[in-house]
Amino acid sequence: MDPETKLKELTAILNEVADLKSAVDLLDWDQQTYMPPGGAANRAYQQATLAKLRHIKFTAPEVGQLLDDLQLWAAELDPDSDEARLIKVTRRDYEKKVKVPSEFMAEFTKTTSNAHLVWQQARQTDDFAKFQPYLEKIVELRREYADFFAPYDHVYDPLLDDFEPGLKTTEVQEIFNALRPQQVELLKAISEKPQVDDSFLHQPFDEFRQEEFGMEVISKYGYDWNRGRQDRAAHPFTTSFGLGDVRITTRFIPDYLGSALFSTLHEAGHAIYEQGIASHLDRTPLAEGTSLAVHESQSRMYENLIGRSYDFWTHFYGRLQELFPSQLMEVDLDTFYKGINKVEPSLIRVEADEATYNLHIMLRLELEIALMEGSLEVADLPEAWKSRMEEYLGLTPPNDADGVLQDVHWSSGYIGYFSTYALGNLISAQLWEKVNEDIPDLADQIRRGEFAELTGWMHEKIHRHGSKFEPQELVERVTDSKIDPAAYMRYLRTKYTEIYEL
């Protein structure tokens, strides 16, 4: 069989793996949007069965054999070609998957499934001790997981690699070590200034008008409704069943404008990324974002760098006032702008503003690394959490429920995930500086509510490549620099110097 035929054979298998993934994702989307309560028991079975079939199909010896057979041929190709990258990415994913025994995965799934239930109770009753043995078991299993990939430079590397292919723990530590003191210092400067007012955001806002406004904005952003839709879900998320069907979800809070508005812009950023992937990559492992951090750079950019900018609201604020005259007619643009950018240290990560968000992340990353290294015991985690909260944010959690127990991630086995949120922020600012160089009148365009050139640039530089490149590689290709905190700090300083008159 010639290599072209073998590649076709490999692709045919990968296509079916993609179909199974899409079906699993649809089972999940439906569960979070429309499924009646009675469907829950069978849904869990359906997801498990399809996930298993997907795993069996992807890790079949036949796939390994085809990858081996194609190795030499691929080495002769343009390394940036779709074919070479498809083989490279598939080999990477394949080798990761086959290194982990299915008995281990079964135990991990069972452990996290129980741990998740216990965590829900522990958080409700503020009882860390109850969750402690489960988290200890998870840390142990995560170490065992890392060992399947030995030798490694750092025990945290294999975990991080699942979300940020190729990125090393030391790289992230360097980035965050440079970033943290600057963020702490900026926050301190802000906290010495008079606070801005955002009380006008906390009033009753008709849900359907909130929805209408969000749809108007993301349509202008370039979200393609022909290849997507928006539904309601308790926890907003974006999902795709192939590049022609990328859906977002939103949660509407009737007496707080900020929630649905910014979460809609955020999810639209994720969705515009997926919709922008080159369509010929569809049904292959390349038809997704390159990493969680790069994905997050897009959602944060459309949510924050654009959606919380003065230029943006210069265009859209009149329309928002028109939709909510009684709530906003007396609030002028400057007040509104300052209100949606209010900085206030809070205990809860998901409520954090742009100036404090990364601090929540860095705290978590440091603790995760310490747990994995064994320099911190799970039993000592609550105290370690509290002392860092004081150091970074100046707050002391009154309990563990609003402290170490607040996030779902660890209970689900996700150790290695958190840093992607902060890295996404950093990348968004790097891309923002670059796109403003390339499109000198971008600010003017935004003040006119025009996003076609901006989104086109993102399609061209980032989206269309799908997951062909590793995150550091892609960021460097586009910005001539690897992930670097300088741009984000420039962005924060400029913004808050003006708002808080630093």
Catalytic residue among 164, 267, 354, 470: 267
Q: Cβ 458 to a copy of itself, closest distance in Å?
A: 19
Q: Cβ 47 to a copy of itself, closest distance in Å?
A: 9
Choose among 89, 85, 97, 273: nearest CA to 165: 89
Q: To 5 degrees, how large is the angle CA 296–CA 301–CA 302?
A: 105
Residue with smaller CB distance to a copy of itself, 15 or 177: 15
Inter-residue contact 396 to 402 (CB < 8 Å): no
Structure tokens at 338: 């300052």
Choose among 372, 413, 419, 366: nearest CA to 161: 419
Inter-residue contact 419 to 357 (CB < 8 Å): no
Q: Give the Cβ contact number of residue 106 at 10 Å.
A: 11
Cis peptide bond upstream of 151, omega within 30: yes
Structure tokens at 451: 């996003």
Q: Cβ 226 to a copy of itself, closest distance in Å?
A: 5
Structure tokens at 139: 């840390």
- 37 interacts with a copy of itself by CB under 8 A: yes
Choose among 410, 421, 453, 402: nearest CA to 266: 421
* Contacts with a copy of itself, 207-236, as mask; x by CB under 8 A: -----------------xxxxxx-x-----
Q: Give the Cβ contact number of residue 156 at 10 Å.
A: 27
Terminal CA-CA length for the chain: 69
- Choosing from 6, 53, 55, 116, the residue that interacts with a copy of itself (CB under 8 A) is 53
- 267 is annotated as an active-site residue: yes
- 241 interacts with a copy of itself by CB under 8 A: yes
- Choosing from 41, 72, 150, 234, the residue that interacts with a copy of itself (CB under 8 A) is 41
Q: Cβ 56 to a copy of itself, closest distance in Å?
A: 10
Choose among 257, 189, 196: nearest CA to 499: 196
Q: Cβ 34 to a copy of itself, closest distance in Å?
A: 6
Say which amino acid occupies 143: R
- 102 interacts with a copy of itself by CB under 8 A: no
Residue with smaller CB distance to a copy of itself, 232 or 319: 232
Q: How far is CA 154 from the centre of its chain?
A: 23
Pairwise CA distance, residues 206 & 234, whole Å = 18
H-run or E-run covering 23: helix 3-33
Judged by CB under 8 A, the number of residues near a copy of itself is 40
H-run or E-run covering 87: helix 82-99
- Choosing from 4, 34, 106, 251, the residue that interacts with a copy of itself (CB under 8 A) is 34
Write the CA distances from 381 to 200, 260, 371, 386, 421, integer angstroms: 38, 33, 9, 9, 21
Return the exposure string of 223-244: e unless at least 16 CB atoms fall within 10 Å of the residue's CB, then b.
beeebbebeebeebbbbbbbbe
Q: Binding to a copy of itself (CB under 8 A): which residues in 13-32? A: 15-16, 19-20, 22-23, 26-27, 30
Inter-residue contact 286 to 86 (CB < 8 Å): yes
Q: Cβ 223 to a copy of itself, closest distance in Å?
A: 11
Q: Cβ 23 to a copy of itself, closest distance in Å?
A: 5
Q: Cβ 466 to a copy of itself, closest distance in Å?
A: 15
**Span of 46-54, 84-92, 99-107, 393-401 interacting with a copy of itself by CB under 8 A:** 46-54
- 132 interacts with a copy of itself by CB under 8 A: no
Q: Binding to a copy of itself (CB under 8 A): which residues in 280-299? A: 282-283
Applying CB under 8 A, which residues contact a copy of itself? 15-16, 19-20, 22-23, 26-27, 30, 34-43, 45-46, 48-50, 53, 224-229, 231, 241-245, 247, 282-283
Which residues are designated catalytic?
267
